[in-house]
């Protein structure tokens, strides 16, 4: 028993160090490397420099908006698909799962080259305009979000008795749109939020597709910053990390209220 406890602590400490040491290093560096050989005075100047930069906010804002649009499109595409597959064509589930896993197999560089070679000339001259390129970026991000969004939604749907809920709503006269929006969607809210925040995290940090489509996104900004500045990229990393944690706390907070409600559909 004591030995098991000891092992548990060893694993925990190793895991903790593996995860937090790089973060601590980055944080220390973002303060001007005060415990390095130069022993500079700790400063928040680099944070101030990043936060005061217009490029930081515009690129972050751009990526955030693209992220939100991606989430909306992704939910609009994945939610009815996963619902229909579970309800009517469960035999198609392995195929749909395979399709949604393709982004793990096809690297973003291949995806973006495919998109550019197809949509950069008539009859689909998307890259001729800013809005066209942004649409391509969103389309690519929607594809990248497939594995996360589909799994999140599918798990959410698994947790409720969608067949009975759908049939109950139908027997009361509800059509498909109402069933999806008022019955199914609110009951997979937490799952959707998980998928949404994962998608947002991917979009905010994505570099390859945004660079090749020449979009002013956060990923290319971060890369450019890394090439020209020393301490600011570390500060940006810490800020990104903070924002991610904020998103996670938000998921936990929003999800806390609804989990108990969603869990019960049958006999107690």
Partner 1 sequence: MSFLRLTGVQKHFPGGVVAVEGFDLEAVRGEFVSFLGPSGCGKTTTLRMIAGFEKPTAGTIVVDGKDLTYTSPNQRNVGMVFQSYALFPNMTVAGNIGFGLKVRKQSKAAIDRRVGELLELIHLEGRGDRFPYQLSGGQQQRVALARALAIEPQVLLLDEPLSALDAKIRIVLRKEIRAIQRQLGITTVYVTHDQEEALSLSDRVVVMSEGHIEQIGTPSEIYNFPSTAFVASFVGTLNLVNARVIDAGAGRLSIEGQEVRTTKAVTDAGADGRVTLAVRPEGISLGEGGEGSNRLRGTVDDINFLGSIVRIRLRLGEGTSGEPPAVVALDTFNEPHLRLPAVGEQATISFPTEACFVLGAARDGALASAEAGAEV
Which residues of this protein are in contact with partner 1, per CB under 8 A? 160-161, 164-165, 167-175, 178, 183, 186-187, 189, 258, 260-268
Q: CB-hemisphere CA count at 13 Å for 251? A: 18
| Ramachandran area for residue 114 (φ above 0: left; ψ -120 to 50: alpha; else beta) | alpha
Minimum distance between the CB of residue 176 and partner 1, rounded to whole angstroms? 9
3-state SS, one letter per residue, for 64-94? HHHHHHHHHHHHHHHHHHHHHHHHCCHHHHH
Instruction: Kindly list the distances between the CA atom of residue 181 and the CA atoms of 83, 116, 173, in Å, as whole numbers in the listed order.
Output: 12, 35, 15
Return the number of the residue (93 or 121) whose C-beta is nearest partner 1.
Answer: 93
Q: Report, in Å, the least distance between residue 157 CB and partner 1.
A: 13
Q: Which is nearer to partner 1, 116 or 262 (CB)?
A: 262
198, 155 Cβ separation under 8 angstroms: no
Judged by CB, which is closer to partner 1: 96, or 188? 188
Query: In angstroms, what is the minimal distance from the CB of 84 to partner 1?
Result: 15
Angle subtended by helix axes 232-263 and 218-228, to nearest 10: 150
- Least Å distance between CB 175 and partner 1? 6
The smaller minimum CB distance to partner 1, of residues 127 and 258, is found at 258
Q: What minimum distance in Å lies between the beta carbon of 163 and partner 1?
A: 9
CB of 92 to partner 1, least distance (A): 15
DSSP-derived 3-state class of residue 17:
helix
38 or 172: CB nearest partner 1: 172
Nearer to partner 1, 52 or 266 (CB): 266
DSSP reduced 3-state for 160: coil
User: Residue 214, by phi and psi: left (phi above 0), alpha (psi -120 to 50) or beta?
Assistant: left
Token pair belonging to 1 = 């028993």
Q: Which residue has the tokens 């972050």?
A: 60
Residue written as tokens 């609009």? 76
User: Considering the complex, what minimum distance in angstroms separates the CB of residue 170 from partner 1?
Assistant: 4
Nearer to partner 1 (CB atom), residue 94 or residue 266? 266
Helix (H, G, I), strand (E, B) or coil at 216: coil
């Amino acid at each position: 028993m004591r030995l098991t406890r000891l092992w548990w602590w060893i694993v925990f400490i190793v895991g903790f160090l593996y995860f937090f040491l790089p973060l601590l290093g980055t944080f220390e560096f973002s303060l001007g490397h005060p415990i390095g050989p130069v022993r500079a005075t700790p400063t928040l100047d680099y944070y101030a420099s990043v936060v005061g930069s217009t490029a930081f906010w515009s690129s972050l804002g751009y990526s955030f908006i693209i992220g939100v649009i991606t989430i909306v499109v992704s939910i609009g595409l994945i939610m009815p698909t996963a619902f229909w597959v579970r309800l009517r064509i469960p035999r198609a589930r392995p195929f749909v799962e395979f399709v949604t896993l393709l982004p793990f197999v096809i690297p973003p560089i291949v995806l973006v080259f495919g998109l550019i070679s197809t949509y950069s000339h008539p009859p689909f001259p998307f890259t001729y305009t800013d809005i066209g390129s942004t649409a391509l970026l969103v389309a690519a991000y929607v594809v990248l979000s497939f594995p996360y969004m589909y799994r999140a939604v599918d798990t959410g749907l698994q947790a409720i008795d969608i067949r009975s809920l759908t049939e109950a709503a139908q027997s009361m006269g509800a059509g498909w749109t109402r069933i999806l929006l008022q019955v199914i969607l609110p009951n997979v809210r937490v799952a959707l939020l998980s998928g949404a925040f994962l998608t947002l995290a991917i979009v905010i940090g994505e570099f390859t597709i945004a660079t090749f489509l020449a979009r002013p996104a956060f990923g290319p900004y971060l890369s450019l910053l890394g090439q020209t500045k020393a301490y600011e990229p570390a500060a940006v990393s810490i800020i990104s990390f903070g924002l991610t944690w904020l998103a996670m706390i938000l998921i936990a907070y929003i999800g806390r209220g609804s989990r108990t409600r969603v869990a019960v559909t049958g006999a107690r």
